[in-house]
Amino acid sequence: MKTKIQQAVLGGIVATAMMTMVMFVAPFMGMPKMNLAEMLAGMMGLSVFIGWIMHFMVGVIFAQAYVFLFSSILAKISS
């Protein structure tokens, strides 16, 4: 069985990939264009590739924080 850390990393990567796909489809539904990787890279003066790495790292960090902050609370809920 995978540890909580491994599950959170995988969940963060998958969730970030899914939300990124939604961001790319959003302009076709009338929403503004959003490319967070370009925004991150532009703010720091780095390449877009580094922006993508940072984008996925943020997603993994959010997943880790969610698991470690809320897993004990969610375990107490019976239904």
Task: Check: CB of residue 60 under 8 Å from CB of residue 8.
Answer: yes
d(CA 29, CA 60) in angstroms, rounded, equals 27
Mean pLDDT of 48-76: 90
What is the Cα–Cα distance from 72 to 14, expressed in whole angstroms? Answer: 23
Query: How many separate helices (H) and strands (E) can be counted in the chain?
Result: 3, 0
Asked if 67 and 8 count as a contact pair (C-beta separation under 8 A), the reply is yes
The mean of the pLDDT values for the chain is: 90
In this prediction, residue 1 carries a pLDDT of 55
Contact 33, 26 (CB under 8 A): yes
Is pTM beyond 0.85? Reply is: no
Percent of the chain with pLDDT over 90: 65
pLDDT value of residue 3:
86
